[in-house]
A and B are shown apart, each in its own frame.
Chain A
Amino acid sequence: MKAVSYMTYQEKKSIVSLISSILIFAAYCLYKYPQYPEGVMESKEIFHYWGSFVLVLTLVSIAAHIVISIIFNIFFRMTTGEKEPSFADELDKLIDLKAFRNSFFVFILGFLLAMGSLNFNQPSKVMFIILILSGFLSDVTGSLTRLYHYKKGV
């Protein structure tokens, strides 16, 4: 019996999730970063800017991921004639746990770096940039871990 090699639903979904995370983050940063209040030193305005940066980015990411996931499922059904899995079984849960562990590790590393930057008297801007980047990288790490384990096994 010849083994048929193709990408499974989960592999495709991990790739879509990875690409959409990168695109959403890049597009949002390009839109929002020019609005940074230049010339203002550690003021309320700066903290307001970073607060809104993180909150809006979180909301935009969630909304975009939901929309992209719906579009992906429709596209998947149309192209393969197959329905997407409606539940997560033991393999999915195991891979999710591994992805969460790696993603958490990256975020904690970023968090410690961000705190370290304050310790070394860096401006708050550096701390916020490291925090936001670590959030983004932890998301990417999660998607890459999922892709790796769905492809290579657990």
Chain B
Amino acid sequence: MSKSLVGNYIRKLRFDHNEMTQQQLADKVGVTRQTIVALEKGNYSPSLELAFRISHAFKLPLEEVFFYGENSEER
């Protein structure tokens, strides 16, 4: 199974937000911790709804949490 083309900065953003744990983020967006793990590993492209919920949890626009294709701009 190839890595998802939709990448994200979730791991970094969690740490920038008071070292939020995976479980805390999962509770905020209504998924299991395992789904956050899969997202951070790049093993899963979230639904549009989940992507928006995660962006809202960080109070950031979608494109500052997710990117498509190669991550050319390292945050």
Chain A interfacial positions (CB closer than 8 Å to B) = 1, 3, 8-10, 85, 87, 89-92, 148-150, 152-154
| Contact residues of B: prevailing secondary structure | loop
Bound-state CA distance A85–B36 (Å) is: 13
**Which of A85, A90, A152 sits near B1, CB closer than 8 Å?**
A152
Bound-state CA distance A91–B41 (Å) is: 14
**Which of A9, A85, A153 sits near B44, CB closer than 8 Å?**
A153
By beta carbon, the residue of chain A nearest B32 is A85
Q: How many residue pairs between the two chains, A and B, have CB atoms under 8 Å in the bound complex?
A: 47
Asked if A154 contacts B34 (CB within 8 A), the reply is no
Asked if B46 contacts A3 (CB within 8 A), the reply is no
Residues of B within 8 A of A149 (CB): 1
- The 9 A-B pairs of least Cβ separation, nearest first, read A153-B43, A152-B1, A85-B32, A89-B31, A8-B34, A91-B35, A153-B1, A89-B32, A154-B44
Assess whether B60 is interfacial by the CB under 8 Å rule. Answer: no
Q: 0/1 per residue, B33-61, Cβ < 8 Å to A?
A: 11101100111111100100000000000
Bound-state CA distance A128–B30 (Å) is: 45
Asked if B34 contacts A153 (CB within 8 A), the reply is no
Residues of B within 8 A of A1 (CB): 11, 15
Residues of A within 8 A of B24 (CB): none
By beta carbon, the residue of chain B nearest A153 is B43
Asked if B34 contacts A91 (CB within 8 A), the reply is yes
